[in-house]
Amino acid sequence: MTEQVLDAGEHHAPAANSGRRITVRPHRARSGLASSFKTPLWHRVAERTIAVLALAAIAAIALIFIFIAREAVPMFWEVEFAEEVEIRDLFFAKEWNGYDEPVFIWQPVGEPAKFNVVPLFVGSLKVTLLAMLMSVPLGIGCAMFIALYAPRAVREVVKPVIELLAGIPSVVLGFFALMVLASWAQATFGFHFRLNAVVAAIGLALTIVPVIFTIAEDAIQSVPQTLNEAALALGARKYQVALRVVLPAALPGIAAGVVLGFGRAIGETMIVLMASGNAAIMELFDFTTSVRTVTATIAAELGEVAQGDAHWRVLFLLGVMLFAVTFVLNIVGDLAIQRLQKKLTAES
Amino acid sequence: MRHTKKDWLLAGLTGISLAVILLLLAVLLGQIVWHGAPVISAEFLTEKPGADMISGGIWPAIYGTVFMTLLMTLAGVPVGIATAIFLSEYASPRSRIAKLVRIAVNNLAGVPSIVFGLFGLGFFIIFVGGSMDALFYDDPRPVWGKPSILWASLTLAVLTLPVVIVTTEEALRTVPRELRDASLALGATRFQTVYKIVLPNAKGGILTGVILAVSRGAGEVAPIIFCGAANFLPYLPTDLRDMFMHLGYHVYALATQSPNVDAARPTLFGTVLVLLVLTFSLNLLAVIIRARSRAALRP
């Protein structure tokens, strides 16, 4: 019998080398000879297994969404939940007893419990934006220096060192921010709170810089040398080439790095859990106060909550919202990278 | 080429940003080694912690981390390699299924680690474990439907899946197309080509990717907070249903929940150093293997 190739492979094998004139079609060309050869059963079993296992990533994404949502959505019809919390109060300000104006409060152990998610998202955004303000210039700066100025020897050393930084577990960075950075920052800047948004953001920046650096450096390197040379031949200075030719051409890639870094920062848990102070204060502009992020709230509170409680459902809802936010950011980042690739292949 | 002032300015500014990063990294590593190294001793590495969690050693945490990492590798790596083989060797890049798998992989890589924790709790512990309990046991106390080293490892296996897939696929792509063509032209089936030609040639690259993924999984704490890590356990996990101590979780718990953080400082720095040495030696191993396999691929 002839060999049984996987469906996808059978239909599309020639497309894989569409760039060449000569294509290889083994199963057609060989059908006469192969009749004397019997494919072992386990080869066919292995191929089927590979095809099934390849769907694991799709299954994982679907299962993650379904099983987090499954713990959250009963809030919309459960009587117990409605008795304790109004859905509206999760998102909008309310004038609670003892307050003279509508406020956003996250106070899950209060009486009555107040579950307003707005302060948590404000906290997440504050820390994330601050971390981006530090890491975007640093990451892009490093990438430009390595791609445009650094001698080969420096590049060969620095790239693995930054990979090393990316390999440090986030709990170690959180520990570093908590034990070392926090005291240093308080002594230097005189912060009123030892743990605050700034300290957490510095720790966070350490995880995002490698993300932005790697993608930005790739993007800068992938700008065709011909563009560079053409600009130099026209009499441009090196800094002009860097800022007006290379950087604009690499912009979609750099943007992708920034978007993916943002997604990483907003989802990061251990650093903010350990170094941000974790007070859920609704404070938009003061970055020296302690903040509580969405991720830290889930990590700190879920262990104390009984399964099926109102609090439990709200924490899983936070998970669903976080999942949705990072999902969108990822899609946007990927599209940006694809656009860059198309643009560059079209130009060269 | 002549350099003007603006050239130097740009080189200087970008160079400073690199210096800042390298300085922070140096301070971080320096502090941890400086304060951590004096704590490391044979007792620290091989003894159980005292009841206050500060005295004694961290052996159960080392054991738990390694045990969990091994389980995670066994569960996740074969699936990741299979996916990469499918994407690189079988599916056309234009087929809808390959596109879908790729989108899923990219998104999986971006899911926050704490969301994996919720997933482990909601799926593995409550749904899978809970269903197993309901089917096989009459006992109202949960047997499988509770946090354990098994569920924590499986959760982390899902988390590391995209890393394994992406790096393995890259490794497979470095195998020259001509080798595949030659093998197919000699009459080998596609599977024989993958199994006898592509995989042996990509071995080094695949191993590198696997080790990088494993080292990432070994250091993750957020997903295992509710899935099986224990604050303090006087015994070593022997059963898949046991909870376990973990180096990273130990650092988190000790640094944030200890009544006396100052007294815990030396233990903390020692534990962080052990965790760093563990992940860095995995990373270093990966770098060495990658360098060797690249050298081997050169004609």
| Whether residue B116 sits in one domain with residue B15 | no
Q: Taking CB atoms and an 8 Å limit, are A68 and B112 in contact across chains?
A: no
Residue window 53-92, chain A: list those with CB within 8 Å of chain B: 53-58, 60-61, 63-64, 67-68, 70-71
**Tens-place pLDDT, residues B255-288:** 888 777 788 888 899 999 999 999 999 888 888 8
Provide the mean pLDDT of chain A.
82
Summarize pLDDT for B192-203 with one digit per residue, the tens.
Answer: 999 899 999 898
Which residue blocks in B190-260 are alpha helix, DSSP H?
190-192, 199-219, 247-257
Is B251's Cβ below 8 Å from some Cβ in A?
Answer: yes
Q: What's the pLDDT band for B127 if we cut at 50, 70, 90? A: very high
Taking contacts as CB-CB distances below 8 angstroms, the residues of chain B near A169 are: 218-221, 248, 275-276, 279
Instruction: Say if A264 is an interface residue toward chain B (CB within 8 Å).
Output: yes
* pLDDT (tens digit per residue) in A107-149: 888 777 888 888 899 889 999 999 999 999 999 999 999 988 8
Kindly determine whether residue B112 and residue A50, on different chains, have CB atoms separated by under 8 Å.
Answer: no
What sign does the CA torsion over A37, A41, A43, A45 have? positive
B272: nearest CB among A33, A175, A322: A175
Report the amino acid identity of residue A254.
I
> Is residue A55 predicted with pLDDT exceeding 50?
yes
B106 in contact with A at a CB cutoff of 8 Å? yes
Say if the Cβ atoms of A50 and B190 lie within 8 Å: no
Interface test with B, best of A3, A44, A65, A171 (most B CBs within 10 A): A171
Separation of alpha carbons B168 and B165, rounded Å? 5
Same domain, residue pair B203 and B132: yes
Q: How confident is the model at residue B117 (pLDDT cuts 50, 70, 90)?
A: very high
d(CA B145, CA B143): 6
Q: Do B6 and A174 touch (CB under 8 A)?
A: no
Structure tokens at A199: 């300290």
CB B240 within 8 A of CB B151: no
**Number of C-beta neighbours around residue B296 at 10 A:** 10
Q: Which residue has the higher pLDDT, A12 or B131?
A: B131
Q: Where are the beta strands (DSSP E) in A48-171?
A: 106-107, 114-115
Partner B contacted by A286 (CB < 8 A): no
**Record: contact B104-A330, CB cut-off 8 A:** no
Q: What's the average model confidence in pLDDT over B220-224?
A: 92
Residues B183 and B94 in one domain: yes
| Same domain, yes or no: B31 and B54 | no
* Main-chain dihedrals φ then ψ at residue B125, nearest 5 degrees: -75, -55
SS3 A191: coil
Same domain, yes or no: B52 and B35 = no
Tell me if A145 and B14 make a contact (CB, 8 A cut-off): yes
The answer on B243 and B103 residing in a single domain is yes
How far, in Å, CA of B124 to CA of B130, rounded? Answer: 8
Report the gap between the CA of A105 and the closest CA in chain B (Å).
23
The answer to whether A145 and B14 are in contact (CB under 8 A) is: yes
Residues A207/A241, Cβ–Cβ less than 8 Å: no
Confidence of residue A174 (pLDDT cuts 50, 70, 90): very high
Of B127, B184, B255, the CB nearest to A178: B255
Query: pLDDT per residue over A306-346, tens digit each?
Result: 888 888 999 999 999 999 999 998 888 888 878 777 777 76
Examine the domain organization and report whether B19 and B163 are in the same domain.
no
Count the domains in chain B.
2
Lowest mean pLDDT among A105-109, A196-200, B75-79, B283-287: A105-109
- Measured from the Cβ of residue A93, the count of other Cβ atoms closer than 10 Å reads 15
**Same domain flag for B46 and B21:** no
**Distance from the Cα of residue B94 to its chain's centroid:** 31
- Torsion, Cα of B123, B129, B132, B137 (10° steps): -150
- CATH number of B176's domain: 1.10.3720.10
Range of the domain at B218: 41-297
Which residues in chain B have their CB less than 8 angstroms from residue A311's CB? none
The pLDDT of residue B153 is above 90: yes
A35–B contact, CB cutoff 8 A: no
Q: What is the dihedral of CA B12, B14, B15, B21, to 10 degrees?
A: 140
For the segment A7-22, the average pLDDT, to the nearest whole number, is: 44
pLDDT-derived band of residue A13, with 50, 70 and 90 as boundaries?
very low
- The residue that leads in pLDDT, B143 or A134, is A134
B254 and B113 fall within a common domain: yes
- Distance between CA atoms of B160 and A60, rounded to whole angstroms? 12
**Which residues of chain A lie closer than 8 angstroms to B18, CB-CB?**
141-142, 145-146, 150, 158
pTM equals 0.86
Q: In the structure encoding, which two tokens stand for residue B44, read together?
A: 């620290």
Residue A36 CA to residue B168 CA, distance in Å, equals: 34
Measured between beta carbons, the chain A residues lying within 8 angstroms of B89 are 9
Q: pLDDT at residue B88 above 70?
A: yes
Q: What residues of B are in contact with residue A323 (Cβ under 8 Å)? A: 111-112, 115
Q: How near does any CA of chain B get to the CA of A112, in Å?
A: 26
- On whether both B16 and B114 belong to a single domain, the answer is no
**Band of pLDDT at residue A3, cut at 50, 70 and 90:** very low
Chain A residues touching B4 at Cβ < 8 A: 237, 239
Are B135 and B259 in a shared domain?
yes
For the segment A40-60, the average pLDDT, to the nearest whole number, is 89
Instruction: Determine whether the interchain pair B187/A30 forms a contact, defined as Cβ–Cβ distance below 8 Å.
Output: yes
What's the pLDDT tens digit per position in A230-279?
Answer: 998 998 888 888 888 888 888 888 888 898 899 889 989 999 999 887 77
Residues in chain B closer than 8 A to A237 (CB atoms) = 4, 6-7
Q: And the tokens for A331?
A: 């899609």
Structure tokens at A288: 């020296």
Task: Look at residue A347 in the predicted model and tell me its pLDDT.
Answer: 57
The domains of chain A are located at: 7-54, 115-347
For CA atoms A266, A272, A273, A278, give the dihedral sign.
negative
The CATH number that domain A115-347 falls under is 1.10.3720.10
Q: Count the neighbouring beta carbons within 10 Å of the beta carbon of residue A190.
A: 8
Do A57 and B272 count as a contact with CB atoms less than 8 A apart?
Answer: no
Residues 6+ apart with CB under 8 A from B256: A178, A273, A274
At which residue do the structure tokens 């320096």 appear?
B30
Q: Are residues B35 and B126 in the same domain?
A: no
pLDDT at A17 over 50: no
